[in-house]
Structure 1
Amino acid sequence: MKDILSEIIAHKQIEIAQQKQAVSIEHLQKTVDAMMQEEADAQPTDRVQHRSMKRALATSASGIIAEFKRRSPSKGWIKQEAQAHLIPPAYEAAGAAALSILTDEMFFSGTLRDIRTARPLVNLPILRKDFIIDEYQLMQARIVGADAVLLIAACLTPDRCHELTLQAHELGLEVLLELHTPSEFSHICKETDMIGINNRNLGSFVTHVENSFRIAEQLKETIVQINFETAPVLVSESGISSSETIRELRSTRFQGFLIGETFMRTENPGNALKELIGEVSAFNS
């Protein structure tokens, strides 16, 4: 079976090396430093709002992270004509708790410009969803206006994952750590903000939502043993398409639900989200 993740990471390493040739990491660092200094010097009324994805999920009635996604390496085009100035604002209007925006270009036809486009149009936390393996990508995320980044355990060693988590925090970014199996629990550190269970196998890209239920109890036992200041929010990712599934996941203490393809395959993703939130609200009432 073809391992899609290995192919993606191999290309990502080449891509980042090329980007560093075009724009040095020193240049990115200066840009980030200037941004952060400007924010620190701003008057209280003019300061950039800190958007916490963790807090947004913990306090949301639906907990839905609505994803902007054009293509999948396993299924091809989902919505080729998708526009970042239209769909993210529609998601916010429909009641999303947070946004996920794919920025991988080669395999998902995303771009950092999608976050830059959406950022001034929405007030929700934005997750940069990509295959992050280098601090360079964290700086890019900060510059374009992301509030959180995805770190995928399958792409990183535990030590590297911890290092990138601390670097993200230094930049003011939260971290959603994505796990697939209990063997990856060693990637969790006390600084982890959110833990996602991906129901999609990153080798084959086959999705089974049962994965979240299967490892939830063992994950919660592991979390109890770690000295968190505040416990991480649990997120179930991929393969979710019904309010019933969300209700069942909530009963096992998941508070976030990352959903993309279910919405993006429809003519109007915002309306599809609004309908699902309506069903979730009916369960909660």
Structure 2
Amino acid sequence: MTETYLDKILAAHRETASRDTRSSAELLAQCLQLAPARDFAGALRAPGLSVIAEVKRRSPSKGDLAADLDPAEVASAYAEGGAACLSVLTDVDHFGGSPADLQAARAAVDLPVIRKDFTVALHDVYDARLMGADAVLLIAAALNDDELAQFADAASQVGLTALFEIHDEVELERALAVNAQVVGVNQRDLVTFEVDQDRAVRMAPQIPAGLVRVAESGVRGPEDATVLYSAGFDAVLVGESIVTAGERAAAVRALRSVVKA
């Protein structure tokens, strides 16, 4: 079987994790001394379509998007436009992000922030909390059932919201089995990087009522956002279309202003 780009990214992250000799107990103790995290899930339950606005320098599929961005400046523009939360890439090698980007963005605004990265080890969860994140991404396609359960428990223990990213019914069931409260449907295939614009709409009815539903990838503007909001999504996670916009605050505001069709 041919190795995919996702396989390569995950292998690199797992290799890094395998060399991490820090004590899990010490990291946990440090996390438990921190001030409470901002309420990521609560922010997404606000009336209207919530926007998780992404600070994103580059992507594997598109290359550089805004390589020289100022994270604090971008975060401030997103907040001005009415974003509910921020997403900040911290993957250095493949997305050009860093923990410093997350810290700068979070310090500039009062919004909850998710660490957008490939969580492959327990220390990744603790590191997310220690670098200042309020939420952590758990990608079902990248984790086995034991890892999904362990990392979900760890996130809860240190006060992080877990965003469970899924692509299909099987992954949804796996997320629900570990008591997922925030479910993100990624419309981008992590193997081919192609976007299926209808995936989130197909999956929406299968996500139980009461959970926070997030649509990820392929949200090109208000028209796409309207379709997703009308399908029952509480929030959209948007990166490329707003980070490359001439007026980022206006781009977020346009997404925030959509009404159900």
Q: Which residue of 1 aligns with 2:189?
A: 201
Structure 1 residue 181 displacement after superposition: 1.4
1:89 & 1:29 partners in 2: Cα distance? 36
2:236 counterpart of 1:239: no
> Greater share of helix residues, 1 or 2?
1
Normalising by structure 2, we get a TM-score of 0.91
Q: Which residue of 1 aligns with 2:16?
A: 15
Instruction: Give the secondary structure class of the aligned counterpart of 2:165.
Output: strand
Q: Is the 8 A contact 1:162 1:187 kept in 2?
A: no
Structure 1 residue 190 displacement after superposition: 5.0
1:151 & 1:36 partners in 2: Cα distance? 21
1:56 & 1:191 partners in 2: Cα distance? 19
Q: Given the alignment, which residue of 128, 144, 147 partners 2:134?
A: 147
Greater C-alpha radius of gyration: 1
Unpaired stretches in structure 2, ≥5 consecutive residues: none
Q: Given the alignment, which residue of 170, 179, 192 partners 1:191?
A: 179
| C-alpha RMSD over aligned residues | 2.1
Structure 1 residue 34 displacement after superposition: 4.0
Q: Which residue of 2 aligns with 1:45?
A: none
Q: Is the 8 A contact 1:158 1:186 kept in 2?
A: no
Spell out the pairing of 1:158-177 with structure 2 (5 A cutoff).
Answer: 158-177=145-164
Structure 1 residue 215 displacement after superposition: 2.2
Letter matched to residue 104 of structure 2: T
Q: Which residue of 1 aligns with 2:120?
A: 133
Q: Given the alignment, which residue of 201, 223, 230 partners 1:213?
A: 201
Unpaired stretches in structure 1, ≥5 consecutive residues: 40-47, 225-230
2:222 & 2:154 partners in 1: Cα distance? 36
Q: Which residue of 2 aligns with 1:111?
A: 98
Q: Which residue of 2 aligns with 1:4?
A: 5
Instruction: Give the secondary structure class of the aligned counterpart of 2:226.
Output: helix
Structure 1 residue 243 displacement after superposition: 2.0
1:49 & 1:167 partners in 2: Cα distance? 15
Letter matched to residue 56 of structure 1: A
Q: Given the alignment, which residue of 17, 30, 33 partners 2:29?
A: 33
2:239 counterpart of 1:260: yes
1:60 & 1:253 partners in 2: Cα distance? 12
Q: Is the 8 A contact 2:128 2:136 kept in 1?
A: yes
Letter matched to residue 181 of structure 2: D
Q: Which residue of 1 aligns with 2:66?
A: 79
Q: Is the 8 A contact 2:204 2:213 kept in 1?
A: no
Q: Is the 8 A contact 1:2 1:204 kept in 2?
A: no
Structure 1's consecutive aligned runs of 4 or more residues displaced over 6 angstroms after TM superposition are: none
1:130 & 1:71 partners in 2: Cα distance? 13
Distance 1:164 1:203, change over 3 A: same
Q: Is the 8 A contact 2:51 2:255 kept in 1?
A: no
Number of residues of Structure 1 aligned to a counterpart in Structure 2: 259
1:25 & 1:75 partners in 2: Cα distance? 35
Instruction: Give the secondary structure class of the aligned counterpart of 1:59.
Output: coil
Instruction: Give the secondary structure class of the aligned counterpart of 1:110.
Output: coil
